[in-house]
Amino acid sequence: MTPASVSPAEVRFAWISRAEIAVIDLREEDPFAGAHPLFAACLPLSRLELEIGDAVPRLTTPIVLYDDGEGMVELAADRLAELGYTEVKALEGGLSGWRAAGLEIFQDVNSASKAFGELVEHRRHTPFITAERLQEDLDRSAKLVVLDARRFDEFNTMSIPTGVSTPGAELVLRARALAPDPQTTIVVNCAGRTRSIIGAQSLINAGVKNPVRALRNGAIGWTLAGQILEHGQTRRAPDVGGKEAEAARKAAAHVAYRAGVREVDVEGLARLAADPQRTLYRFDVRQPEDYLRGHIPGFRNAEGGQLVQETDMFAPVRGARVVLADDHGVRAHMSASWLAQMGWEVYVLNGGFDRELETGSWRAARPKLPPAATLSPEALAQKIDDQRVVVVDVGPSKAHRKGHVPTARFAIRARLASYAGSLVETRRPIVFTSPDGALAHFAAADFFAITRTAARVLEGGTDAWRNAGLPLEAGFADALSPPEDIYRRPYEGSDHPVEAMQAYLDWEYGLVDQLARDGSHGFYVI
């Protein structure tokens, strides 16, 4: 099916008028990071069926698809139509059409959130400390604490010496316990800039009496200064309660009020959810371990700091409504205050945790898997030993590098047409796998549609292979596709070339001017 087209000007007007629209880039993450419109969301064709349900939960949402000439739009439109989406169009001219219209092209991932962070610093003059000065203060045992605003796993990978893991939305809740003396300087850091800025400004907005500084350029700045990072640290901010938690709640609620955030009770939430004309995202902004212990049904976990940082990934429908839940209230109010300034219609749920809660992980919305013959891990292991099978891994390249079924060849599902013929030529049975096997089912169906040759699927995927106690191989060799599904971020890890790190920082410094040229964002800063 060839979908109707929509012009770049029409998309831009939807953003400006805050109408609901999901602009979806069908390419993999690495090419997406190279160039895309401001509010475009990366939702690759390879994983479209598995991710669209949570990304765009309302079937009548206006969806605009584009690529950069790879020919994926029609296939994606067909797949969405099969799933019941009724308002799917193509961006006229694709990414080239956007460029030809003279509109701004952004780079990297989470660009809108990062640009907003730069705007906050620009307008509020968020105070900072350089890596060199912080090292001097640490060396002389100055009265300060370093709070790391990233996810705990990022902190554990690399951290500033003495740093304590305090993910972004936790800062206002826990900072007073970590720095009870108002003379103690609080330094907030992340890997690069955005979460440092937003975290430090959160504390300032909430009226924390301590001197507050953002570590300029985060762990990248620390590395560029030639200073040593720690690895494997597990320091976490303590739990708080009583008067400290109540003071933080009142301060956060005041910040949210200033930003125009509204509260809604459980009955009001039900009314919002019943509106067929609007998309509603529901996020529990607590830490994952809290979410697993018990959460309100229908709420997906999105740590507050990460939700602000990765809004395009969690909520691709620009113009949608957002409701945040948090048993303390602090994290929801602070996260909501930032989302409101980013142009979202956002509410904080008042109550809900006193009712029956669900436990465990979020269960993603998924369509029925295409039928396919399966092979047990034990049966596949025997065929591999006898060299009578070709195994194709269509899961993420990062997971493949970490550990895959022996002999499995990495492949990107959307590129299947380019390598399907070579698989048929092997004259051996083809078995597809992916972490839980779901994506492998879709790949097997694609393979049959292209070659008219049936393939099998590893029952339960690579997870089942691992759970069966069978060995895994690490590394990346003999791939059928380049690993363009992952964009290697210059701010994750400390082994990047210094040129790449500096280029990333230079790009961030230019985002305020780029926002001004773009003119579609609607951001404001309280």
pLDDT tens per residue across span 490-500: 877 656 788 88
Say yes or no to pLDDT of 489 above 90.
Answer: no
Q: What is the pLDDT of residues 172-192, one digit of tens each?
A: 999 999 999 999 999 999 999
Correct CATH for 5-112 of 2.40.110.10, 1.10.1060.10, 3.40.630.10, 3.40.250.10: 3.40.250.10
Structure tokens at 452: 């008219």
Q: How far is CA 57 from CA 22, 309, 317, 364, 365, in A?
A: 11, 21, 9, 11, 9
Q: What is the pLDDT of residue 495?
A: 67
The CATH architecture assigned to 249-349 reads 3-Layer(aba) Sandwich (3.40)
Q: Answer whether residue 17 shows pLDDT above 80.
A: yes
Q: 292-326, pLDDT tens digit by residue? A: 999 999 999 999 999 999 999 999 999 999 999 99
Sheet holding 185-189, edge to edge: 128-129, 212-215, 185-189, 144-148, 164-165
Residue-averaged pLDDT of the chain:
96
Strands (E), 310-428: 317-318, 321-325, 345-349, 373-375, 390-393, 409-410
Q: Mean of the pLDDT values across residues 270-294?
A: 97
Instruction: Please give the Cα distance from 185 to 208 (Å, whole number).
Output: 11
Residue 387: pLDDT band with limits 50, 70, 90 = confident
User: Can you give the pLDDT at residue 494?
Assistant: 57
- Give percent of the chain above pLDDT 90: 94
For 373-467, CATH gives: 3.40.250.10
Q: Can you tell me the distance from the alpha carbon of 136 to that of 132, in angstroms, rounded to the nearest whole number?
A: 6
Asked if the model's pLDDT at residue 380 lies above 70, the reply is yes
Residue 276 clears pLDDT 80, i.e. is over it: yes
Can you tell me whether residue 91 is helix, strand or coil? strand
Domain ranges of the chain: 5-112, 120-237, 249-349, 373-467
Q: Which residues of 229-244 are buried (b: 16+ CB within 10 A; e: fewer)?
A: beeebebbbeebeeee
Least confident of 13-17, 386-390, 398-402, 456-460: 386-390
Is 5-112's fold the same as 120-237's?
Answer: yes
The token pair at 197 is: 């800025």
**pLDDT-derived band at 503, boundaries 50, 70, 90:** confident
How many CB atoms are located within 10 Å of the residue 156 CB? 17
158 contacts 219 by C-beta, under 8 angstroms? yes
Cα 15 from Cα 456, distance rounded (Å): 44
pTM value surpassing 0.75 = yes
What is the reported pLDDT for 241? 86
Question: Which CATH code of 3.30.1950.10, 3.40.50.300, 3.30.70.270, 3.40.250.10 fits the domain covering 120-237?
Answer: 3.40.250.10
